Chains A and B, each alone.
Chain A
Amino acid sequence: MEEHAAISRAKKEDNHIGGIRSKIANIVMILPYILSFSVFIILPVALAIILSFTNFNSMTFPSFVGLSNYVNLFTTDSVFMQKILPNTLLFAVVCGPVGYILSFLLAWMLAQIPKGPRTVIALAIYSPSLTAGVAMQVVWVAIFSGDANGYLNAFLLNNGFINDAIQWLQSEQFLMPIMMIVTIWSSMGIGFLAMLSGILNIDQELYEAAYVDGLKNRFQEIIYVTVPSMKPQLLFGAVMSVVSTFQAGAIGVQLSGANPTPNYAGSLIVNHIEDYGYIRYEMGYASAISVVLLLFVYLISKVIRRVLTPKE
């Protein structure tokens, strides 16, 4: 009893004397994050929205033009409507779900084998995501290189599948599929690890109970036990996969070595932003494209969240 009273007295004193000091300490702790977060993440998004309503060439002060950037984007920019938008949609619709489902299935299979081999195989699957950027470009450009020395060409020539080397990365027909393969290859990143660890942490008793209740096979096991028990990790993985899919937007330019890509075959929204922003210096227009991209990501994530949020 006495001890209890001492504790509550100590607490009170703490509130009186240490209260202000600890308040200041708390503010000091959270302020740096809030500041850098606001200045380099929130503010740029806000600024992009504002600039999207202006005409801005980066030299003179931006002039307000209302919605005309958006109107132009959707009505007169034929490259955007005919190439960029369909390309981006196709790319996102293929890479997002395929990468996501694949990472779930791989994670699930990995959870069925013992730790030693699991760690090695998981590392092999995860390591491509570490190559993002420079290393990825070097590897795949060599594999799909257009001369007879490219690995794929050499393999196909040698086995008599083709007679002449194919310019894989300069071809309208092949560039997009190659971009998809490379993106999916490198997409088993942090979302994949989250799912793997989510599956491994499911309580074993849930499975036992479910089998007692009449679960029949592995497939039912996934549907009725695994997926419902790891919805939070599935959601995290989904958000990460959406982001990395859109962030990978520069890949067509990296592979083909040109912006715009050959006849825009591999150009995505991100390249269009760069094209207008840094090649033509139409920053207002480029900002409008950025806003459309951010809205895109936001809407997709919103839908995913609705589907995957655990029901209370």
Chain B
Amino acid sequence: MSYQGRKINPKHFHPSQIKFYLILVPISLFMILPIIYLFTTAFKPQEELFKFPPSIFVQNPTWKNFQDLFALFASSSVPASRYLFNSILVTVLTVLVSVVLSVSAGYILSKKQFKGRKLLFEINTLALMFVPIAVTIPRFIIIVNLGLIDKFISNILPIVAMPVGLFLIKQFIDQIPDSLIEAARIDGAGEFTILFRVIIPMVKPALATVAILSFQSAWGATEASVYFINDEALKTFAYYIMTFTSASSAATQGISAASALIMFVPNLVIFIVMQSQVMNTMAHSGIK
């Protein structure tokens, strides 16, 4: 067999691609099936949830599960809107802070010469392997000693430093030619102007990617609510749903699915909106 023209990233369909579809389509169906289940179950009325045999698809979709979910909150001391508000606030702040921290540190690590620069990046790359779940105990001790127990900010502070965020952005900034920065400096731009006017506009795809990753970690985070916060009014939606779903039974399956959907859909929407930016960033993601 000799080389037959374009193979990677073809522009059009060709019969030789059929074999790949034959493998990819069934696998992607297997991957997506549980998610379809999530969608349909969330909209199933009671009687369909108990039907035997259960069917994947819903016949009479209803919003009742969502209404029940919020009614359930109403009976507890803290209303659902409060948890939801907490989660939105935590997520927005975490995304903003972690993106700003990553891009400003990424700029310095990429474009500035200073002692310890290599070492710092090396430690950060090592920290890509960091498994947060392994250190909840020392984190708890640190939070206690900083006096942050039962403070709203302990939802945010522990997750704003994202080694993978700094890593991706730094790799991306490496692609920006030094001459551009030099030119801006000659035009009289200060460091912050360079960061905001030169660097940030050029690394938008990487920023979008880091924002997505940070969004996912903040939106689904339960660590702070479980360990650092006792005050119900400061806990997050993800936490409440977690406590609720772990006690779930067939009777509450529909409500569980409705709440799981509320957790899942924002992640999905944000990813779909920004997926081309993510792919662009990932091209520079390699560890060299």
Which residues of chain B come closer than 8 Å to A157, judged between CB atoms?
53
Which residues of chain B come closer than 8 Å to A273, judged between CB atoms?
133-134, 136-137
Q: Is the CB of B220 within 8 A of A239?
A: no
Report the bound CA distance from A135 to B241 in whole Å. 10
Q: Which residues does B use to contact A, with CB under 8 Å?
A: 1-3, 6-13, 17, 20-21, 23-25, 27-32, 34-35, 37-38, 41, 50, 52-54, 56, 100-102, 104-105, 107-109, 112, 114, 120, 123-124, 126-139, 141-142, 146, 157-161, 163-164, 166, 185-186, 190-192, 195, 213, 216, 220, 222, 227, 238, 241-242, 245-246, 248, 250, 253, 256-257, 259-261, 263-264, 267-268, 271-272, 275, 278-280, 282-283, 285-288
Report the bound CA distance from A193 to B276 in whole Å. 11
Report the bound CA distance from A140 to B227 in whole Å. 26
Report the bound CA distance from A188 to B25 in whole Å. 16
Which residues of chain B come closer than 8 Å to A297, judged between CB atoms?
129, 131
Q: Is the CB of A130 within 8 A of B3?
A: no
Q: Is the CB of A236 within 8 A of B1?
A: no
Considering the complex of A and B, which 6 residue pairs feature the smallest CB-CB distances, nearest first? A232-B286, A211-B3, A25-B191, A47-B138, A33-B105, A197-B282
Which residues of chain A come closer than 8 Å to B213, judged between CB atoms?
190
Q: Is the CB of B260 within 8 A of A149?
A: no
A76 at the interface (CB under 8 A from B): no
Give 8 CB contacts A-B under 8 Å.
Answer: A36-B160, A37-B161, A113-B13, A121-B24, A123-B272, A134-B260, A216-B1, A287-B138
A151 at the interface (CB under 8 A from B): yes
Which residues of chain A come closer than 8 Å to B108, judged between CB atoms?
26, 29-30
* A190-B164, A294-B135 known, 18 other contacts, Cβ within 8 Å: A29-B108, A29-B195, A32-B100, A33-B101, A41-B127, A42-B127, A106-B24, A125-B31, A133-B242, A139-B257, A142-B37, A215-B3, A217-B1, A232-B286, A232-B288, A273-B133, A273-B137, A293-B131
Report the bound CA distance from A149 to B34 in whole Å. 16
B146 nearest CB across to chain A (Å): 8
B279: which of A142, A147, A193 is its contact (CB, 8 Å)? A193
B134: which of A125, A140, A141, A270 is its contact (CB, 8 Å)? A270
Report the bound CA distance from A22 to B12 in whole Å. 51
Report the bound CA distance from A42 to B272 in whole Å. 34
Which residues of chain A come closer than 8 Å to B139, judged between CB atoms?
40, 44
What's the count of A-B pairs with C-beta under 8 Å?
A: 313
Interface size on A, residues (CB 8 A): 119
Report the bound CA distance from A274 to B1 in whole Å. 57
A170 at the interface (CB under 8 A from B): no
A104 at the interface (CB under 8 A from B): no
Q: Is the CB of B286 within 8 A of A198?
A: yes
Which residue in chain A gives the minimum CB-CB distance to B102?
A33
Q: Is the CB of B264 within 8 A of A113?
A: no
**A125-B31, A133-B220 given; A25·B128 CB < 8 A:** no
Report the bound CA distance from A242 to B133 in whole Å. 14
Report the bound CA distance from A254 to B227 in whole Å. 17
A143 at the interface (CB under 8 A from B): yes
Among listed A10-18, A67-75, A77-85, A171-179, interface-contacting one? A10-18
Q: Is the CB of A41 within 8 A of B9?
A: no
Q: Is the CB of B287 within 8 A of A235?
A: yes
**A33-B105, A121-B24, A193-B279 given; A130·B216 CB < 8 A:** yes
Q: Is the CB of B8 within 8 A of A127?
A: no
Q: Is the CB of B248 within 8 A of A232?
A: no
B31: which of A11, A22, A128 is its contact (CB, 8 Å)? A128
